[in-house]
């Protein structure tokens, strides 16, 4: 899919909250996004349609991460439903992994619900491996898998 990847910053808080609301039943609001974007080491990318004459770019996905010392972590990753299965998340994840490695991180971590087949498929295809499990972490019933990829 043709897209641009734009680095994230605090001015994106409202936009990210709007995208998050369209993908999750427990959305993170603008204030929460603003706090995450303001954390030391926070970084990420916004995926959008390319600028066209007479048409504003349409944002349709993002990845938000944090780097601390020699580790990085994916905090959020989503792609709006009509834009899925086109390689958008894979491109966002690739960009985040490159940025983490360039910044000196030796590994990337993330948490994913054990029943999230789409995200699990994405992360395992990208080379992540399970290194831990938090029992009944989501909603008191769904396990969270802790995944890691060495950089």
Ligand X SMILES: CC(C)(COP(=O)(O)OP(=O)(O)OC[C@H]1O[C@@H](n2cnc3c(N)ncnc32)[C@H](O)[C@@H]1OP(=O)(O)O)[C@@H](O)C(=O)NCCC(=O)NCCS
Q: Which residues bind ligand X (CB under 6 A)?
A: 23, 77-79, 84-90, 112, 116-119, 121-122, 125
Calculated CA dihedral for residues 75, 81, 86, 90, nearest 10 degrees: 10
Place of tokens 């734009």: 6
Closer to ligand X by CB, 95 or 105: give it.
95
Closer to ligand X by CB, 54 or 117: give it.
117
Q: Return the residue nearest ligand X (CB atom).
A: 121
CB 55, min distance to ligand X, A: 22
CB 34, min distance to ligand X, A: 20
CB 53, min distance to ligand X, A: 27
Closer to ligand X by CB, 41 or 86: give it.
86
CB 37 within 8 A of CB 9: yes
CB 137, min distance to ligand X, A: 12
CB 90, min distance to ligand X, A: 3
Round to whole Å and give the CA distance between 114 and 138.
Answer: 9
Closer to ligand X by CB, 81 or 103: give it.
81
Calculated CA dihedral for residues 15, 109, 113, 40, nearest 10 degrees: -30
Round to whole Å and give the CA distance between 137 and 15.
Answer: 27
Residues 6 or more apart whose Cβ sits within 8 Å of residue 146: 109, 110, 111, 130, 131, 132, 133, 134
Closer to ligand X by CB, 37 or 77: give it.
77
């Amino acid at each position: 899919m043709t897209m641009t990847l734009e680095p994230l910053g605090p001015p994106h808080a409202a936009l990210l909250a709007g995208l998050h609301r369209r993908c999750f039943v427990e959305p993170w609001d603008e204030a929460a996004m603003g706090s995450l974007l303001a954390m030391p080491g926070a970084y990420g990318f916004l995926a959008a349609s390319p600028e066209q004459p007479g048409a504003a770019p349409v944002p349709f996905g993002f990845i938000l991460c944090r780097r601390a010392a020699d580790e990085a972590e994916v905090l959020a990753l989503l792609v709006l439903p009509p834009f899925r299965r086109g390689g958008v998340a894979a491109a966002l994840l690739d960009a985040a992994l490159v940025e983490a490695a360039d910044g000196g991180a030796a590994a990337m971590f993330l948490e994913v619900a054990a029943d999230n087949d789409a995200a699990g498929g994405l992360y395992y295809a990208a080379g992540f491996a399970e290194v831990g499990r938090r029992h009944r972490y989501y909603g008191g019933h769904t396990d969270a898998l802790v995944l890691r990829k060495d950089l």
